Amino acid sequence: MPSPDKDIKLQEQVQSLYEMMQEEKVEELEIKSPDLKLHIRRKGRNVVHQISHQHVSGNLGTQHFEQSPETPKIQSVEGDTKKSPITGMFYRSPSPSLPMFVKEGDIVDTGKTLCIIEAMKVMNEIKATEKIKIVNILVENGKPVERDQDLFIIEKL
């Protein structure tokens, strides 16, 4: 295990990263290296900091600094869905003052933008890959999404 001095220094570095995340409004950060895995997720006032140290022996030591009482709820759905290809922030319109890309009940042609997922300050348009009907929108505007999370329940036409 790392020494107590290294733990304190690491905690200070994590706190500094977290403060930068707050300033930049970043909800989630993950850093991986051969001897360290760092995952920080902000959810309102609940914060999860998880740090794993990889040692020569291959054992992992994990430290949790603050544990969020809320576990993200993964909604299971039946039927066809459109999943998020990446982790990021979900947006239903190009800006707050513009109309939403799609609404429930819309029939959407191939190539039409369904939403935007912002990842690392890059706006990624998620488009329909075939003609579909939007049956249900599963994510709230401005909320974080994970890779492979269901975004829409769809009906293929």
Q: Average pLDDT, stretch 132-155?
A: 93
Q: Please say whether the beta carbons of 17 and 29 come within 8 A.
A: yes
Identify the structural domains of the chain with CATH numbers, from first to last: 4-64 (no CATH), 80-156 (2.40.50.100)
Coil, strand, or helix at residue 33?
A: strand
* Confidence check: pLDDT of 94 > 80: yes
Q: What are the tokens at 100? A: 């939403």
* Confidence check: pLDDT of 128 > 50: yes
What does DSSP say about strands 122-127 and 113-119: parallel, antiparallel, or unpaired?
antiparallel
Q: Average pLDDT, stretch 46-65?
A: 43
pLDDT tens for each residue of 29-52:
777 777 667 777 766 544 444 444
pTM of the model: 0.52
